[in-house]
Amino acid sequence: MQLTVDKTFLNQIDEIRDKIFRITKRILVSQEEAEDATQEVIVKLWQMDASKRNGFKSIEAYSVTMAKNYCLDRLKSKQAQNLSLDERFGVPTTDSLQKKIEHKDELTWVGLLIDRLPEKERMIIQLREIEQYDFDQIASILNLPEGTVRVYLSRIRKKLRKQFIEIQSHGI
């Protein structure tokens, strides 16, 4: 089997590889995950029929969309190695052992409550509170209006707060 090299395509990939990587890094956070995602997108583009690739108005726009969708699929499938709550809101080092244990226990409960959220709500809280994305970035990633993201986030926070207070007051 002989491979034919499409030099035009190789030049296009050279020009957009960094952009694809930045997008995947922004969504997936992990350097390794972003590198894998970038490679996967480029391989999928390479395997695509050349006539189809050449039919796009902008291979760059298509590849960026492909990268975004691939990353969102990775996040949804929980294969991405994102920051945990412990990593994001680390246990304080100067407190007493009792305070450290309480703090760690609270983070565990919050993590469990987040895991119980519906997928869209879990994604919003993950992107905003753990990954620290701006509202406009979350809106772009999830294809929602920015105002809708703000409303969702407010409702999610209230729901989590209520559930957490119930757990604390019942000693569960």
pLDDT in tens, 93-116: 556 788 888 778 878 888 888 888
The rounded distance, in Å, linking the Cα atoms of 71 and 39 is: 12
Same domain, 98 and 65: no
Cβ contact 151:139 at 8 Å: no
pLDDT at res. 30: 81
Look at residues 106, 111, 40, 115 and name the one whose alpha carbon lies nearest to residue 70.
Answer: 40
Same domain, 93 and 55: no
Instruction: Mean pLDDT check: name the lowest of 18-22, 64-68, 91-95, 120-124.
Output: 91-95
Domain end, chosen from 29, 51, 76, is at 76
Question: Can you give the pTM of this predicted structure?
Answer: 0.46
Residue 122 within any structural domain of the chain: yes
Number of domains the chain contains: 2
Same domain, 68 and 101: no
Q: Which residue has the higher pLDDT, 32 or 52?
A: 32
Confidence of residue 80 (pLDDT cuts 50, 70, 90): very low
Residue 136 domain boundaries? 85-170
The rounded distance, in Å, linking the Cα atoms of 5 and 46 is: 10
